[in-house]
């Protein structure tokens, strides 16, 4: 869990209600961290999974200032199933809530 004093902690708050539908025994990457990587990359102008992976590697020192990244940066092929498993309505509502 991230401390609330960390800037990304506020963003993660809006996504904490998302149901993680992955098989928990096979989970390698924290859902909040994956979402954080993706959001930062998209804000930085990235528009595909490969770009998110590359952006995350390029900024890993910065990300490690507020994310644990116990297993490092997920590959571009890992982002797709993680985001595909999310309920689109829940994710949409989380995004809208964060933007508000």
Q: What pLDDT, on a 0 to 100 scale, did the predictor assign at position 10?
A: 67
The pTM (predicted TM-score) of the whole model is 0.84
Q: What pLDDT, on a 0 to 100 scale, did the predictor assign at position 2?
A: 42
pLDDT in tens, 4-38: 444 555 678 888 889 998 888 889 999 999 999 99
DSSP 22: S
Burial class (CB in 10 A: 0-12, 13-18, 19+), 47: exposed
**Cα–Cα distance measured from residue 34 to residue 44, given in angstroms and rounded to the nearest whole number:** 15
Residue 41 · residue 55 · CB < 8 Å: yes
């Amino acid at each position: 869990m991230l401390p609330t004093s960390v800037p990304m902690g506020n963003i993660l708050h809006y996504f904490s209600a998302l149901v993680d539908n992955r098989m928990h025994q096979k989970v390698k990457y924290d859902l909040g961290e994956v979402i954080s990587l993706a959001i930062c990359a998209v804000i930085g102008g990235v528009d595909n999974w490969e770009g998110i992976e590359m952006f995350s590697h390029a900024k890993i020192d910065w990300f490690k200032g507020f994310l644990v990244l116990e297993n490092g940066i997920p590959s571009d092929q890992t982002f797709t199933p993680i985001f595909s498993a999310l309920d689109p309505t829940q994710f949409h509502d989380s995004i809208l809530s964060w933007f508000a």
